[in-house]
Structure formats: structure tokens, C-alpha cells
Structure 1
């Protein structure tokens, strides 16, 4: 009964590759970015390939969003600035203008459109920029690994679906 072993092995492999959920990973990465930067706000922004539009793909805020950062992201013009930028964007806080302080750096991800990881809620310095850049590299590797696992699961399901039927 070699096909039973194949079935078991294939199920175990699919199970191992399927345990990494990209949405959960993105949430964990955002929470960790906030912790690394010493803020309560972080997230990811995706920029289209033509660099015309940017949209938040994940936003992590504390309950109630006291700085109203979600609204600020939509209304401030920072998304347009990210769409046009290939480099790190740092904006100082200005309480009188409702500017929370913002730092975004590109995530080196080959398999996706341009992606930025951002943190907000205080003033940021060169050291913060360096640290977030290193974090962005690790986050990019994690996102690519998750994407690779999702692709492997799809391919393995195809192998499983088309394997020969035992006589």
C-alpha cells in the first residue's frame, strides 16, 4: 500500500506548510515593529508597481486609536508621499497640526509590489531609521517565506489531486 504512505506524507507536509498564515504574520510583524520602535502604532503600506497609489495593507493601533492615526493616514497625504518615494520617509511630530510623527522604510520584498513598514506616534531619529531598516529586511524575508509556503501548498495540492489511483 505505497499510496497510503504517500497520502500520509502529503497530508503532513501540507499541514506543516499551511500553519503559517500570512495575515497573522503581517499582524505579528506590525506589532513587533511598534514594540521595536517604542510606539503603539505600526503597519504596512503597499504601493502599486507604477508608484501612483499607496494603500494600507495592515494598521496596528491601540484600542480606540487615540491619535486617530487611521484617519491621519487617509487625509494627510503621507500615502501619496510613500507612493512617490523609493526611500525612507520621516515626518516630525507637530501636535498643533495633528502630525503624530511618522517613519516608514521600504521592505525589500521581491514577490510583491513596493511595500513599506511604518511606525508612528513620536519623533524619530537616525538610530530609529537604522533599526527600522534592519527590521524591514527581516520582515521582507518573513513575508517572502510565507508567500513561498502558500505557493508550495498550492503546488502540493495539485500533486495530490493528480497522483495515480491505486489499482
Structure 2
């Protein structure tokens, strides 16, 4: 079979655009958020457009860790559902409050997304830093979605191109 530059070029584009895995990207972003905040815990929460339901997109915490149960039982998810700004909860170990900070991730989507960190007390500087990180995370998520869309379009171009003589 003769070398076909079009096939090679399309294959190269599709391969290079297919590299970002959405789940891997979110995991990397959560780990980076934890590192930026100097905490062992971080994650992403999605809030529906009606601001009634929340769902954890990703939690970076050891399996079986009590923070996972705290997230579900504390009511912090309900607070995020109604919030459109950063949310900071003070750390109070005597009542089991680990300290929590969440900030909106500016993404062009139908749902609202928050990045959160937990495990210590947080200050205004932490909130500012996490806000900047959230902006970068949003851009990365949008870029990954754009790359996925480009791959779908390129596969269509490749599939429906005219036959080569």
C-alpha cells in the first residue's frame, strides 16, 4: 500500500489530540490543588444548573478516609449548591470540622463546578490562590473538551474524505 500523506497527517493529529484523558486530567488537577493548598484532600464538585443537586466529580483522599463521610454528611454539599462564590469553613477539630475551602471553577458548561481543598484552616491568601488555580483548572478542562471535540471532527473528516486514486 503506497504511503498516504493524508492518512499519516490525520493519524498524527488524532493521536496528539487524543492524549488528554478527562478522568486523568481531573485526578491530576485535584492532586495539584491539594499540593497548592498544602492539604491532603482536594476534589471537584459539580452543581446542577438549578442549584439543587451536587455530585462529587473527584475526591483526592485515601480510601476509607473519614473526610469522605464528612463530605456526604456535613451539609457542605448543600451549601455549595446554593453558593456562587467561594465557600470557607473554619477548622474546628473538637467538633470534627476539618477546615474546608471551595471556589468556583470558571468553565463554559451547563453545570457549575467547584474545586475544593480541606484539612486545615484557610485564610484570604489561600482563597485567592485557590481562585487562581480554579481559573487555570477551568481553562485546562475546557481545552480537554475542545481537544475531544476536535478528535471527533477529525475522525469524521478522515472517514468521509474522498477516495484516493
Q: CA RMSD in A?
A: 1.6
Q: Does 1:82 align with 2:80?
A: yes
Q: How far did residue 95 of structure 1 move?
A: 1.5
Gaps spanning 5+ residues in structure 1: where? Answer: none
Per-residue CA deviation, residues 130-152 of structure 1 (Å, 9 max, x unaligned), is 00000000000000000100010
2-side partners of 1:38 and 1:161: how far apart? 48
**Distance of 1:9 and 1:135 partners within structure 2:** 35
CA–CA distance in structure 2, aligned partners of residues 19 and 49 of structure 1:
30
The runs of 4+ residues in structure 1 deviating greater than 6 Å are none
SS at match of 1:151: helix
Which residue of 1 is the match for residue 125 of structure 2?
Answer: 127
Q: Which residue of 2 aligns with 1:28?
A: 28
**Partners of 1:47 and 1:82 within 8 A in 2:** yes
Following TM superposition, by how much is the alpha carbon of 1:122 offset from its aligned partner in structure 2, in angstroms? 0.5
| 1:29–1:139 Cα contact (<8 Å) kept | yes
Tell me the CA shift for residue 88 of structure 1: 0.3
Offset at residue 97 of structure 1 (A): 1.9
Report how many residues are paired: 165
User: What is the rounded CA distance, in whole Å, between the counterparts of 2:62 and 2:69 in structure 1?
Assistant: 14
Matched with 1:141 is 139
CA distances 1:85-137 after superposition (whole Å, capped 9, x unpaired): 00000001122221110000000001351000000000000010000000000
Q: Is the 8 A contact 2:48 2:110 kept in 1?
A: no
Describe the superposition over 1:26-60 as per-residue Cα deviations: whole angstroms up to 9, x where unpaired. 11110010001000100000000111111110000
Separation in structure 1 between the aligned mates of residue 47 and residue 24 of structure 2, nearest angstrom: 21
Q: Distance in 1 between matches of 2:141 and 2:2?
A: 36
Q: What CA distance in whole angstroms lies between the structure 2 residues aligned with 1:52 and 1:130?
A: 26
1:165: how far off? 1.8
Match of 1:95 in 2: 93
